[in-house]
């Protein structure tokens, strides 16, 4: 069994895998991480290996605590990966994007694939059917767009995410919803169309916190998978344990 630990800025996602199958997934506050890991250890004693992906702040004390209990891998840009990384600046490639591409080559081998992660930012990552990662794009996520409109203007309100009723907003609030949500949908559909023109056999995967909200509104055919990053981390751990 493997323990997958994905550390964000405030919360941590943990998952227990048996081979490729996810047995459990939890989201905990960063302050509760070590206590929760001890609970998982008591419940899932067969866990032998663990991997940490951290874009947040995880101190050395916490890492050492986990390292004493498991055969631990800390994911970074120098790790052995199950794909060829052709990014011009590989050391700057986010570990979350590394995990997503790893999931893609495992789930959809020898496919031209575009992975879209709709979270704080919206990231686009393309991997070819030759198992080569070529790069992608980064743009502001939904909440970032709402927040920017509020913070960078004098009078626009901060709104909760809401699907617009029409393209033409007949109030300030309706106009903001239309601009943000339709803008994101048009952006995603447009980029998918651009890739599909070059790669007609393109596989598209949508993941991230806003994936469920967006998936039903997109014109393109996609695979929606909220656990894709965790699956990618698990595959990297397995790949490095061979």
For the annotated binding site for K(+), the residues are: 117
Going by the annotation, the residues of the binding site are 6-13, 87, 94-97, 117, 120, 172
**The two three-digit tokens of residue 70, written as one number:** 């498991």
Going by the annotation, the residues of the binding site for substrate are 87, 94-97, 172
> Which candidate in 29, 67, 96, 201 is catalytic?
96
Distances (CA, A) of 194 to 142, 180, 189, 210, 213: 21, 21, 9, 22, 23
Residue 127 to residue 135: CA distance in whole angstroms: 8
Residue 109 to residue 86: CA distance in whole angstroms: 17
DSSP 163: -
Which residues does 194 contact at the CB level (< 8 Å), separation at least 6?
Answer: none
Q: Which DSSP string do the residues of 70-87 spell out, in sequence order?
A: SEEEE--TTS--SSEE--
Q: Choose among 219, 224, 208: nearest CA to 94.
A: 208
Annotation says 26 is catalytic:
no
Q: Choose among 118, 122, 114, 103: nearest CA to 212.
A: 118
Going by the annotation, the residues of the binding site for ATP are 6-13, 120
Rounded to 5 degrees, what are φ and ψ at 134?
Answer: -105, -20
Look at the alpha carbons of 173, 178, 184, 185 in this order and tell me if their dihedral is positive or negative.
Answer: positive
Active-site residue set: 96
């Amino acid at each position: 069994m493997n323990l997958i630990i994905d550390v964000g800025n405030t919360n941590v996602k943990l998952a227990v895998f048996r081979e490729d199958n996810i047995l459990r997934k939890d989201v905990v506050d960063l302050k509760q991480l070590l206590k929760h890991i001890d609970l998982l250890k008591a419940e899932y004693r067969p866990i032998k290996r663990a991997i940490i992906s951290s874009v947040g702040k995880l101190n050395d004390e916490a890492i050492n605590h986990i390292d004493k209990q498991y055969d631990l891998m800390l994911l970074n840009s120098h790790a052995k990966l199950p794909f060829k990384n052709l990014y011009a600046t590989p050391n700057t490639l986010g570990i979350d994007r590394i995990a997503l591409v790893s999931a893609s080559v495992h789930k959809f081998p020898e496919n031209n694939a575009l992975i879209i992660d709709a979270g704080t930012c919206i990231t686009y990552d393309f991997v070819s059917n030759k198992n080569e990662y070529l790069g992608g794009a980064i743009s502001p996520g939904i909440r970032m767009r709402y927040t920017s409109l509020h913070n960078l203007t004098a009078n626009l309100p901060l709104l909760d995410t809401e699907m617009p009723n029409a393209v033409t907003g007949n109030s300030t609030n309706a106009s903001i919803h239309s601009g943000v949500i339709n803008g994101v949908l048009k952006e995603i559909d447009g980029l998918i169309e651009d890739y599909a023109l070059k790669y007609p056999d393109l596989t598209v995967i949508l993941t991230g916190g806003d994936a469920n909200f967006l998936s039903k509104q997109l014109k393109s055919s996609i695979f929606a998978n909220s656990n894709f990053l965790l699956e990618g981390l698990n595959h990297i751990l397995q790949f490095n344990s061979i």
